Homo-oligomer: A and B are copies of this chain.
Amino acid sequence: MTVHSAAEKAPDKRARILSAAERIFARHGFFAAKVADVAKEAGVADGTIYLYFKSKDDLLISVFERRMEQVNSQLRAATGKLAPKQQLVAFVRTYLQLVHDEPAAAEVLTIELRQSSKFMKEYANPQFADFLRMLGGIIAAGQDAGDFDDAIPSHVVARLIFGMLDELALAWVLGRANFGAGAPGTRPKKFDIVRAADWALALVTTGLVRKETSP
């Protein structure tokens, strides 16, 4: 009757399920997670999930896709019209900032995506390909501009950088690493992943930037 009960009815039930799934998958891992848990977290009946997703697998894939789309679009926005060197800085910082702001998403992308690539070899994961292409494009642009050394193929560089970021995200998400202070023996405390961005950049950049050292 009321036209705006929408907010609590089903403004986007599909989105609610996706978010719930992301949290549950992050909490328990995909395999240990039960569809019923996702349903409860989303506040819907078990069967409702199957109105929006074909299977539990499909649900996982959809979580990936929605999240990677967001990540990609935020990265695109952040790197905007900058010069390659600035783009790289922005890319790395933004990515790790997103990890920091959405730990559940990070956990799923970091841990479950890897699993799934294995099981679902048929699943191409176009969003992740986009991610790598964007990063590779930045590198290639920098190489073309003469800002970056071009001894290494840009897409290899992209993958290597992604490896760093992914590992940083994993370590942070699992809360094991204790980068920075922390007296020895202290329980591992989450390090500041946003600050870690600059370390990663330092490692990479100093290598990529051509040093006009001159002889």
A212 adjacent to chain B (CB < 8 Å): yes
> Chain B contacts of A118 at CB under 8 A?
29, 107, 111, 174
**Once bound together, how far apart are the Cα atoms of A177 and B121, in whole Å?**
13
Look across to chain B and name the residue whose beta carbon is closest to the beta carbon of A128: B176
User: A96 within 8 Å of B by Cβ?
Assistant: no
Please, which residues of chain B bring their CB within 8 A of the CB of A36?
Answer: none
**Copies of this chain held together in the complex:** 4
Known: A164-B164, A203-B207, A207-B205. A171 touches B159 (CB 8 A): yes
Contact B207 A202 (CB under 8 A): yes
Separation of A166 and B204 alpha carbons in the complex (Å): 16
- A81 CB–B CB distance under 8 Å: no
Residues 138-173 of A at the B interface (beta carbon under 8 Å)? 149, 151-153, 155-157, 159-160, 162-168, 170-171
Q: Do the beta carbons of A159 and B163 come within 8 Å of each other?
A: no
Neighbouring B residues of A174 by C-beta, 8 Å: 117-118, 121
The answer to whether A71 has its CB under 8 Å from any CB of chain B is no
Interface residues on A, range: 35 or more
Chain A 187-206: CB-based contact to B (< 8 A → 1; otherwise 0)? 00000000010011011111
A155–B167 alpha-carbon span in the complex (Å): 13
A163 to B, closest residue via Cβ: B167
From A107, which residue of chain B is reached at the shortest CB distance? B118
Would you give 29 A-B contacts (Cβ < 8 Å), ordered by A? A32-B119, A107-B118, A111-B114, A111-B115, A114-B170, A117-B170, A121-B174, A151-B202, A152-B203, A153-B199, A155-B179, A156-B196, A157-B199, A159-B167, A159-B168, A159-B179, A160-B164, A160-B167, A160-B199, A160-B200, A163-B163, A163-B164, A163-B166, A163-B168, A166-B166, A202-B207, A203-B208, A212-B213, A213-B213
Tell me the A residues contacting B by CB distance below 8 Å: 29, 31-32, 107, 110-111, 114-115, 117-119, 121, 149, 151-153, 155-157, 159-160, 162-168, 170-171, 174, 176-177, 179-180, 196, 199-200, 202-208, 211-215
